[in-house]
Amino acid sequence: MKLVIKDLHVNVETKENVENNKTTSIEILKGVNLELNTGEMHAIMGPNGTGKSTLASVIMGDPRYIVTQGEITLDGEDVLTMSVDERSRKGIFLAMQYPNEIQGITNSDFIKSAMQVRLGKDKHISLFKFIKEMEKSVSELKMNSDLPHRYINEGFSGGEKKRNEILQMKMLKPNFAILDEIDSGLDVDALKIVGENVDAMKGENFCSLIITHYQRLLDYINVDHVHIMVDGRIVLSGGKELIQKIDQEGYDWIKAELGIDPKINQEYLTRSVSLGSCALNTNNSEKK
């Protein structure tokens, strides 16, 4: 299967002033081109505020973003006209940076419902098979055995939430899994477990797009392609050698070699934009 992103431009509307309710549109993605094939593992790296999380959210169909130009296709089919749930059933999965807490719905009921909708109305999941598979995945992720019976992400630690995203990925078996900073908030052991579980998904029907800031997650995931995103565009693609270079030298060499300033989108950061919160945190700490 092939997921193709062509010349993707995306805006987000922000409230300029709460009192007069005026909104301003800011361009976050400024022409992204990317091709993902099942059987491949991709990583996207880049400074804060350059649009990595926005790209992940737009592929999944987050309604907060407005696509102004370009296309996303899945085996030639227009993804942008699909609803969020349709994209998921077609095989796209987003492991979120800040997964929501939803009271009153247990993890296992939620995952079972999500698996059921993939089967259609005439077929039903075998409860025995579901429980076996769930227990196996929970054990592989070294999660507490009561976790499936707890409400979705409610009262979970940051690390438990991230593992829970990977648990859902393992159970739903998507073709294209976008992992948005799945390593943030994980301790060294949890990082290894998550990394190894993602790497184990590698196969001819699976492709992962891993968004990360650090080499450490990619120590456990064998990626084939690395892309560097700066100011809303993918400015460089290559192999694993890029990971080491970023880890050692940061992003300043991009300016020297490519003539692109890897600056953070300041306009995007100074407005109350409800996304890319790692970038906003960075901006706040810079202000301090």
Give me the least distance between CB of 111 and other proteins, in Å please. 8
Which tokens sit at 149? 């019976």
Which tokens sit at 198? 């993602």
Give me the least distance between CB of 256 and other proteins, in Å please. 39
How many whole angstroms separate alpha carbon 194 and alpha carbon 181?
12
How many whole angstroms separate alpha carbon 139 and alpha carbon 142?
5
Nearer to other proteins, 85 or 135 (CB): 85
Give me the least distance between CB of 105 and other proteins, in Å please. 5
Give the footprint of other proteins on residues 42-81 (CB under 8 A).
Answer: 60-63
Q: Which residues contact 234 (CB under 8 A, 6 or more apart)?
A: 32, 33, 34, 44, 227, 228
Q: Pattern of binders to other proteins over 146-185, x per CB under 8 A?
A: -----x----------------x---x-------------
Between CA 69 and CA 81, with CA 93 as vertex, the angle to 5 degrees is 35
- 114 binds other proteins per the rule CB under 8 A: yes
How many whole angstroms separate alpha carbon 209 and alpha carbon 37?
10
Nearer to other proteins, 3 or 243 (CB): 3
Which among 68-76, 108-116, 139-147, 256-264 is the span making contact with other proteins, rule CB under 8 A? 108-116
- 85 binds other proteins per the rule CB under 8 A: yes
Contact predicate 258/79, CB 8 Å: no
Nearer to other proteins, 201 or 246 (CB): 201
Angstrom CA distances, 22 to 10, 12, 16, 106, 119, stand at 19, 14, 6, 40, 45
- 118 binds other proteins per the rule CB under 8 A: yes
Type and span of the H or E element at 69: strand 65-74
- 284 binds other proteins per the rule CB under 8 A: no
Strand, coil or helix: 180: strand
Nearer to other proteins, 90 or 192 (CB): 90
Angle of the 107-119 helix axis to the 127-140 helix axis, nearest 10: 120
- 105 binds other proteins per the rule CB under 8 A: yes
Among 285, 202, 228, which Cα is nearest to 47's? 228
DSSP annotation of 212 reads -
Nearer to other proteins, 131 or 258 (CB): 131
Among 63, 82, 64, which Cα is nearest to 72's? 82
Which among 37-45, 105-113, 180-188, 222-230 is the span making contact with other proteins, rule CB under 8 A? 105-113
Nearer to other proteins, 50 or 168 (CB): 168
Nearer to other proteins, 63 or 76 (CB): 63
Give me the least distance between CB of 85 and other proteins, in Å please. 4
Strand, coil or helix: 206: strand
Binding site for other proteins (CB under 8 A): 60-63, 83-85, 87-89, 93-94, 96, 99-100, 102-105, 110-111, 113-114, 117-118, 151, 168, 172
